[in-house]
Amino acid sequence: MPDPTGTADLLAALSLEEKAALVSGRGAWDTAAYERLGIASITLTDGPHGLRLAADEEGTGEFSLSNAVPATCFPTASALGSSWDPDLIARVGEALGAEARASGVGVLLGPGVNIKRSPLCGRNFEYFSEDPVLTGRLGAALVGGVQSKGVGACVKHFAANNQETERLRVSAQVDERTLREIYLPAFEHIVTTEQPAAIMAAYNRVNGVYATQNRMLLTEVLREEWGFQGAVVSDWGAVADPIAAISAGLNLEMPGTHGVSARRIVEAVKSGALDEAALDRAVAGVLRLVQSVPHTRDGADKVDFARHHALARQAAAESAVLLKNENSILPFDPEAQLSIAVIGDFAHEPRYQGAGSSLVNATRVENALDAMTGIAGRSVTVTYARGFTQAQDEREPELHAAAVATAAAADVAVLFLGLPAGDESEGYDRTHIDLPQDQIRLLEDVAAVNPRVVVVLANGGVVRTSTWEQHASAILEGWLAGQAGGAAIADLLFGKANPSGRLAETVPLRLEDTPAYLNFPGTTDSVLYGERIYVGYRHYDAKTLPVSYPFGHGLSYTTFAYSDLRASVEGEGDDVRIRVSLTLANSGTRAGKEVVQLYVGDPIAGVDRPARELKAFAKVELAPGESRDLEFELGARDLSYFDASEHRWILEAGEFELSVGASSRDLRLCETVTVDAPPRARRLSLDSTVGEWLADPVGAPVLISTLSGTGSSFQNPEIQRMVAQVPLGRLVTLTGGRIDAAKLDRLIAITSPDTPSR
């Protein structure tokens, strides 16, 4: 194998002790350096929506999440996920990469592409979606953007890290099909399309084995199957046993362990407990990483923070989701005669990011109140009342009364509501999905004095709307919108921007309806992924449950018309290509963006499958009256399910339903296509059931003719149905020997000549 980086020479020049020191960090955020060999130290730091580089970092090597250098705080992933816009997210990635590069950061710890299994996960604000295809496309865009600046991206947290409760100990008990169809595809898509410089192995265990020590995940799936070339880095403090981790495929343990891990590794190599070749593999990965990313400061003064702030504003505007807009109460006309009561602490003190390792020291922060006042024309008056404090869920009688009075005196009330910062964070999970009671009471009292109410929400994880939304004519979900979120909200309220965000997760009617309700967060030891593949809309659709707002939903100030859906199939089996085309028109009076979503369902399948699954989407901007032809292409994988018994994707021949629409429950056009695939070659054995034999084109006739001659009533379809689930070998006992073992052995010999009969 060619070795352009000279890794082999370096490996030979490093002592065992030096190699052991290279596979764990030097301090909190850096790797070890060997000047004599030209091996530099690189910095790895957070995070997904903004650079969090500890300002006092240099020299101290201490672990610190505070006192970070100023950086642009972009909207968090739950907002960006709602943009459904890979191009926009790529630009955010470029900006993140530029800021990281300027500060000499080699690897940015993000994006986080864990699937939102439950709305209770305290860290959902750092994740994109409940859907693997959407997550994968958006995560890949962010990685592409960051890496276009030469900085490495570290995709996290691999894998099945879907809760904060017991995150360092819990084992995610998840079956292989569910892993493959829900929790791994986003990582797979990013690895196979963008080759991220690094993947972060998660804290938790997966089916009993720590993710950092999981050979199946780190070596078999990630490297051997997906062809990952980068380095596997542990989450901070995720390594329980460095020897097991190196053997499983980990490259770099972070943060440093003050030499403890290195000493254990040296001893293990000397005693033979760790194969030195495994250590060399780990070191080689670290060397390649160090050589491929920046390690010197480029000068933060080169960063165009003003441009990045403008991008943060655009990203926030594209990410907000207009959930409802009765009587087109929005947008406000900035030139109208209008008095607007702006109510709620969040209008003045925006909550624009979440807590934990992703906390950014924003370069500046804009609030919605000032931005609204700035946009409002002379005839618009904007008044403000705080209404409540964010810190506690207690009625503040004076603030409350003043807010109601302010609302009563205005034409329209805009209430800025949201989750207190303490309700969601890295490190712990949520216990409910409700807004604080004092905010809901304020909304009720405001609505009693002024029927024209708009609610603007600030929250990372989803919040329930069903208990209060009857009091609001419009709801604009702003998420944690980053440092320019206030300005973006003002742009949207006044129609300077047209809402184009779509829900990347379902808003349920109540917590009890959510997929993992009975299995979240599990016990100290383990959490059972009992809902299997039925996560997010797959669950609500399978149970035909009503929801407040479905996955993919979001309104615009204009309207869109869908027409001319066409689908053609070329090829078959693994080579099948389905071309789907349609025409989209802006049928309203404003320019706007629609997110066209393509879902696939397989109504008759050999296994249970979701009613429909998102397979492709496009965000399209159209002027009023403009129309555009769109085309999507699907391949075999888009139609397949993962078979855990054969450990592979299976495409079944037959009909597939293609639906195109504006949300998972607003499907405008449908088409059915028929796909050919070779019959599944099953290896039939005595353990295969009678039903499996009968489903097999080779096995069925042989079985029927063999058993018909036994005097049994096997040709009777009722009998066949009754015994369909019986493994063939059991027929010897169950028929009292009338079907004898020798006959069955002959049967195996005919259908699978190379299988030993017993």
Binding site for ligand BGC (CB under 6 A): 46-47, 109, 156, 235-236, 357
C-beta closer to ligand BGC: residue 46 or 188: 46
Q: How far apart are CA 748 and CA 726, in angstroms?
A: 16
Amino acid type, 601: G
Residue nearest to ligand BGC (CB): 357
C-beta closer to ligand BGC: residue 109 or 476: 109
C-beta closer to ligand BGC: residue 198 or 453: 198
In the complex, the smallest distance separating the C-beta of residue 153 from ligand BGC, rounded to whole angstroms, is: 12
In the complex, the smallest distance separating the C-beta of residue 427 from ligand BGC, rounded to whole angstroms, is: 8
188-to-158, 613, 651 alpha-carbon distances in Å: 11, 17, 19
Torsion of CA 426, 430, 435, 436, to 10 degrees: -90
C-beta closer to ligand BGC: residue 109 or 488: 109
CB-count burial class (<10 Å; 0-12, 13-18, 19+) for 421: middle
Query: CB count, 10 Å around CB of 736?
Result: 7
Q: Three-state DSSP class for 623?
A: coil
Phi, psi of 269 (to 5 degrees): -65, -45
Amino acid type, 551: F
For the chain, report the end-to-end CA distance as a whole number of angstroms. Answer: 44
Q: Of 508, 533, 511, 510, whose CA–CA distance to 520 is shortest?
A: 511
Q: Three-state DSSP class for 140?
A: helix
372-to-332, 341, 366, 383, 473 alpha-carbon distances in Å: 11, 11, 11, 10, 19
C-beta closer to ligand BGC: residue 356 or 610: 356
C-beta closer to ligand BGC: residue 235 or 696: 235
Q: Three-state DSSP class for 286?
A: helix
In the complex, the smallest distance separating the C-beta of residue 106 from ligand BGC, rounded to whole angstroms, is: 14
Q: Which two tokens stand for residue 66?
A: 């505070």
The answer to whether residues 555 and 322 touch, using CB atoms and an 8 Å cutoff, is yes
Q: Three-state DSSP class for 224?
A: helix
The answer to whether residues 720 and 690 touch, using CB atoms and an 8 Å cutoff, is yes
List the alpha helices (DSSP H) in 474-602. 485-493, 537-542
The answer to whether residues 295 and 38 touch, using CB atoms and an 8 Å cutoff, is no
In the complex, the smallest distance separating the C-beta of residue 128 from ligand BGC, rounded to whole angstroms, is: 14
The answer to whether residues 626 and 586 touch, using CB atoms and an 8 Å cutoff, is yes
In the complex, the smallest distance separating the C-beta of residue 108 from ligand BGC, rounded to whole angstroms, is: 9
C-beta closer to ligand BGC: residue 46 or 345: 46
* CA-CA-CA-CA torsion sign (156, 161, 163, 165): negative
Q: Of 327, 470, 358, whose CA–CA distance to 78 is shortest?
A: 358
Strand bridging mode 231-234 / 198-201: parallel
Cα 647 versus chain centre, distance? 23
In the complex, the smallest distance separating the C-beta of residue 362 from ligand BGC, rounded to whole angstroms, is: 18
C-beta closer to ligand BGC: residue 110 or 522: 110
C-beta closer to ligand BGC: residue 80 or 109: 109
Beta-bridge partner residues of 153: 108
Backbone φ/ψ region at 402: left (φ over 0), alpha (ψ -120 to 50), beta: alpha
Q: Which of 30, 46, 131, 235 is catalytic?
A: 235
In the complex, the smallest distance separating the C-beta of residue 122 from ligand BGC, rounded to whole angstroms, is: 11
The answer to whether residues 635 and 577 touch, using CB atoms and an 8 Å cutoff, is yes
Q: How far apart are CA 708 and CA 367, in angstroms?
A: 80
Catalytic status, residue 235? yes
**Residues with active-site annotation:** 235
